[in-house]
Amino acid sequence: MNSHIQVKNLNVFYGKSQALKNINLEIPRNQITVIMGPSGCGKTTLLKSFNRFIELDEMTRISGQVKVDEQDIYARDIDVTEVRKTIGLLSQRPYPLPMSIYENVAHGLRMHRMKKGKNEFDQAVQHYLQVAGLWDEVKDRLHEPATSLSIGQQQRLCLARGLAIEPEIILGDEPTSALDPISSQHIEKILMSLKKDYTIVVVTHILRQAKRLADYVIFMYLGEVVEAGTAQQIFEDPQMERTKGYLSGQF
Amino acid sequence: MGLKKHWQRRHVVEAIFKYVMLISFVLVLACLGYILWTVFSKGLPSLTWAMISQTPKGGYYLGKEGGILNAILGSLYLAMGGTLLAVLIGLPIALYLQTYLRKSHWGKFIRISLDILWGIPSIVYGAFGFSVMLAVGMRSSLLGGIIVLALLELPIMVRAMDEVLQQMPKDLEHAALAIGATKLEVALKIVVRQMMSGIISAILLAFGRGIGDAASVLFTAGYTDRVPTSLTNPAASLPLAIFFQLSTPFPEVQQRAYASALVLTIIVLAVSLGSRWLSVRLSKYSIK
């Protein structure tokens, strides 16, 4: 497998309780990997260890390695802002920044000094709003507050904001859970179209969504990876009893 | 079915408490109304153009001509200078508390220190400031007054900002961190923008404390009949002007004290309304 992310002996503790137990994984490049499992199984914790969000909680301790292209992102000489630039996150609820629609996309570009001059900014903003499927809806009101958009539009804006800083990996933490069915479908479609250029990892507890999106599946239970494999393997021929149980709706 | 209301103890308690709250509210409102009425009714007749456009001429405190321009401008310079200085020092403290110290031991220690400073009477700030000024050979001056007012305003401003910044949605901070912002960039570009209206309220609160205070500027800024033209000049202030005019035995001068109070009230009102307008404008993009 051509893996983009490799996890080795990853353990995460919240205070005294262990949220992730000795995780070993590989995540394939340019595919959609879905992490699924019942609530509280550590899916989100695992996802947040990929962009070092896990350390924002001061009570957290972490050991082991997360390698992106062979580089351990927890190594001492790693710049965490570069990690988060390379690995974007689409969160559960959209949180646009307190600025205009245009500035939401331009902010990251400016922060990372990626573009110069109004023209370059205008082009980049238009391009990423188009990729996120939002351009036609907002092109006449780019300078209105981001909060004037609907929740579904806000989530696509957040996607455009994340894509603008040219990440290689996109993480999605139940990115459709706050959205209506049509907006959810929209986001799913965009994710499908993005996988040719990006490695995508999505956490979901919706089995049907997992089946629609996944090329590769990781099934977790109680802080451990029970089974991981291609979508075909997991959905059609699961090996572990727990996976079978989960897929048949037992818990 | 027993759906009808039977007066039980808890219903009585609720009714009583509702009235207690209402009475407290009316009491506060009545006090405010009475204060405003006193200031307006006693001050308005003596409030002339000369009062606000002239400095005191010889014999002003005996009821002859002149005005309180020295105190109006003095107070504005002092309070604005003090508030500006306090913002320059206070906003970084508040951001540091929220961004890096949070609920650590140091954070708690600094918050308690600020709360203690907040409780110290302003005359102590004045006396402390004046003794330091004497030690370094400074005379009563606009600069001295500004520095002491900034110190007086700092605790209330920082604690008010601290409370405001605690309301910052964590998810919004995370949204900015997720695109690779440093903590400092989040603080300066996202937190300040999002919480602007609260920050302005905190500044306003501190400004109100500063412009209304007489004791801290009594020695440090001094008092003069002239309008200060440099930071080393002494400066008059409205609270002291009110005090001096009220303590004369002449009724017409006492009337002018009320007019001075009216001017001070109008300044505070104008600054409040102005900052409210500013805060609405600046929080146009805030995430609700």
- pLDDT tens sequence across A7-46: 999 999 998 899 999 999 999 999 999 999 998 899 999 9
Over pLDDT 70: what percentage of chain B?
A: 100
Give contacts of A55 with chain B, Cβ < 8 Å. none
The DSSP bridge pattern shows strands A3-14 and A60-68 to be: antiparallel
Residue with tokens 């009949």: B225
Give the Cα separation of A243 and A237 in Å (integer).
10
CB contact under 8 A, B178 and A100: no
Q: What angle do CA B139, B142, B143 make, to 5 degrees?
A: 80
Give contacts of B197 with chain A, Cβ < 8 Å. none
> Domain total for chain B?
2
CATH number at residue B61: 1.10.3720.10
Going by C-alpha positions, the residue among B170, B156, B164 that lies closest to residue B122 is: B156
Whether B288 is in a domain gets the answer no
What's the fold here for domain A3-99+170-247? Rossmann fold (3.40.50)
Q: Are residues B180 and B37 in the same domain?
A: no
| Residue A63: predicted pLDDT | 94
Q: Are residues B20 and B155 in the same domain?
A: no
Q: Which domain holds residue B245?
A: 52-282
Structure pTM? 0.87
Over pLDDT 90: what percentage of chain B?
A: 86
CB contact under 8 A, A91 and B171: yes
Q: Is A49 on the interface with B (CB under 8 A)?
A: no
Taking residues A126-136, what's their average pLDDT?
95
Residue B5, pLDDT > 80, answer no
Give the Cα separation of A86 and B101 in Å (integer).
28
Over pLDDT 70: what percentage of chain A?
A: 100
Residue A214, pLDDT > 70, answer yes
Give the Cα separation of A144 and A100 in Å (integer).
5
Q: Are residues B33 and B120 in the same domain?
A: no
Taking residues B101-124, what's their average pLDDT?
94
Taking residues A33-60, what's their average pLDDT?
92
ipTM here = 0.91
Q: Choosing among B100, B105, B179, which should be mutated to test the A contact, i.e. which has the most A CBs within 10 A? A: B179
Going by C-alpha positions, the residue among B255, B261, B267 that lies closest to residue B61 is: B255
Count Cβ neighbours within 10 Å for each residue of A193-212 and write b for 16 or more, e otherwise: ebbeebbbbbbbbeeebbeb
Q: Are residues B213 and B269 in the same domain?
A: yes
Tell me B97's DSSP state: I
For chain A, which residues make up each domain, given as ranges? 3-99+170-247
Q: Are residues B35 and B70 in the same domain?
A: no
Q: Are residues B156 and B277 in the same domain?
A: yes
pLDDT band for A131, please (50, 70, 90 cuts).
Answer: very high
Q: Is B3 on the interface with A (CB under 8 A)?
A: no
Whether B2 is in a domain gets the answer no
Q: Where are the beta strands (DSSP E) in chain A?
A: 3-14, 17-28, 32-36, 60-68, 71-72, 87-90, 169-173, 199-204, 216-221, 224-230
Q: Are residues B220 and B85 in the same domain?
A: yes
HSE at residue A175, side-chain half, CA atoms within 13 A, is: 33
Instruction: Kindly state the helix (H) or strand (E) to which residue A140 belongs, with its residue range.
Output: none
Give the Cα separation of A160 and A118 in Å (integer).
18
Q: Are residues B13 and B129 in the same domain?
A: no
Give the Cα separation of B12 and B108 in Å (integer).
42
Please classify residue B109 by burial: count the beta carbons closer than 10 Å to its beta carbon, then call 0-12 exposed, 13-18 middle and 19+ buried: exposed
Q: Are residues B274 and B259 in the same domain?
A: yes
Give contacts of A58 with chain B, Cβ < 8 Å. 102
Q: Are residues B31 and B109 in the same domain?
A: no
Question: CA quadruple A93, A97, A98, A104: dihedral positive or negative?
Answer: negative
Whether B186 is in a domain gets the answer yes
| Residue B1: predicted pLDDT | 65
Residue with tokens 């600094």: B110
Q: Are residues B34 and B141 in the same domain?
A: no
Q: Is A152 on the interface with B (CB under 8 A)?
A: no
Residue A134, pLDDT > 90, answer yes
CB contact under 8 A, B181 and A51: no
Q: Are residues B35 and B177 in the same domain?
A: no
